[in-house]
Amino acid sequence: MYPEPARQPPAYGPVEVHQPTPITPVAAVPAPLVPVQPGQVPAVASVVLPDGRVVTGYAMSPMQPEPLAAKPVVSRAAVNVALGGVGFLAVCGGLLLLTTFITALTALITQLITLAAVLFGGFVAVQIFKPSGAKSGNTFHIRKAVFKRNHFNG
C-alpha cells in the first residue's frame, strides 16, 4: 500500500581538517627587562612579559583568611542534660498550669453551688416568713420531725 523508501548511500563528502595557526606578533622585538623599584606602590602596576607584551593591572595584596575562632568543646552529655532540664521544666510548667486550672474550676463550681443555695434559701425564707395575708400560691409545710434510732417519725 505504501511505497518502499528508496535506499541511498549516505552523502558524506571529504573531511577537511583545520589546524590552528599560531599568531606571531608583528616585528615583536623584546625590550630588555630592567627591574625598577618604585619608591611607592603605584596605583596601576605593569608587567612586561618575556615576549614583549605589557600587562597592566591593579596591584593587589594577597588575601589573608580570617583566623578561625576556637569553638568550645561541648560534650554530648552536657547537651543531653541541658535538653533534659528544659523538657523537665516544660512538663513542670504544664502540670502547674493544669493544677491551677483545676483549682480555679473547682472554686468556680463551689461558688456557683453556694450562690444557688443562697438564692434558693432566700426564696424559701421569704415565702415562709411572709405575713399570712401576703402569701403567694406557694405552700410550704414545715413541721417538727423526730429522729429516733435512725427512723423518721413525722
Give 7-33 pLDDT, tens digit per residue: 766 666 676 766 767 666 666 566 666
pLDDT tens digit sequence for 118-136: 999 888 888 777 776 655 5
DSSP count for the chain of H helices, then E strands: 1, 4
- Which grid coordinates are listed for 148? 429516733
Return the closest-CA partner of residue 50 out of 72, 25, 79, 86. 25
- In this predicted structure, the answer to whether residue 99 has a pLDDT above a threshold of 90 is yes
pLDDT of residue 102: 96
Largest CA distance in the chain: 144
